[in-house]
């Protein structure tokens, strides 16, 4: 991760770039780093994937993304309400822990929905899940 940027002069189509980004997000789970840093990398990776795929959203993904946005906003509303009601201990960073834990669930759901979108658009056929047969195409991306 990091340091791998694509330019117009490099070989590789949009699909291969998306699949490489998907691979990078999956690789984050293998990193041996602090939980908060890992969460930040994962979250940003999922957000970039979501933003990049906006032109390809179908009705299901439009709905899923709206649900994501609503859940993300609601996470802060709920956390602020709990903090106002003194439900969090000041000494245990419970506010931050609540945000991180809730954010993990929200972004994991968004990631799952993005994967389903990619599957519906045949991005994953033969590339990640080994589906398809004769129509597989091997694409090399220069790094």
Question: Read out DSSP for 85-114?
Answer: TT-S-TTTTHHHHHHHHHHHHHHHHHHHHH
Greatest extent of the chain over all pairs of C-alpha atoms, in Å: 61
CA 54 to chain centroid: 13
What are the sequence ranges of the domains in the chain? 14-120
Q: How confident is the model over 76-133, as pLDDT tens digits?
A: 999 999 988 888 876 677 888 899 999 999 999 999 999 999 999 887 765 544 444 4
The model's confidence at residue 12, banded by pLDDT at 50, 70 and 90, is low
Top pLDDT among 45 and 138 is at 45
Tokens (6 digits) for 33 = 């780093």
The conformational region for residue 7 under phi > 0 = left, psi -120 to 50 = alpha, else beta, is beta
Q: Residues 41-67: pLDDT tens digits?
A: 999 999 999 999 999 999 999 999 999
Determine the pLDDT at residue 126.
55
Residue range 14-30, pLDDT digits in tens? 888 998 999 999 999 88
Banded pLDDT at 10 (limits 50, 70, 90):
low
Q: What is the pTM of this model?
A: 0.77
pLDDT over 70 (residue 3): no
Rounded distance between C-alpha atoms, residue 109 and residue 93, angstroms: 25
Of the candidates 127, 131, 133, the residue with the CA atom closest to the CA atom of residue 13 = 127
Q: Is-contact 26 86, C-beta < 8 A?
A: no
Mean pLDDT of 63-75: 97
């Amino acid at each position: 991760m990091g340091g791998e940027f694509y330019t117009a002069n490099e070989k590789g189509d949009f699909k291969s770039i998306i699949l490489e980004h998907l691979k990078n997000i999956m690789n984050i789970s293998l990193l041996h780093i602090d939980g908060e840093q890992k969460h930040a990398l994962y979250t940003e990776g999922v957000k970039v994937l979501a933003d990049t795929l906006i032109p390809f959203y179908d009705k299901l993904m439009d709905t899923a993304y709206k649900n994501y946005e609503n859940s993300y906003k609601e996470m802060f509303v709920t956390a602020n309400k709990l903090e106002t009601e003194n439900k969090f201990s000041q000494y245990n960073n419970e506010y931050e822990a609540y945000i991180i834990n809730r954010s993990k669930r929200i972004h994991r759901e968004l990631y799952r929905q993005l994967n389903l979108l990619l599957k519906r658009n045949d991005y994953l056929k033969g590339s990640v899940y080994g589906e398809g047969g004769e129509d597989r195409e091997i694409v090399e991306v220069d790094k």
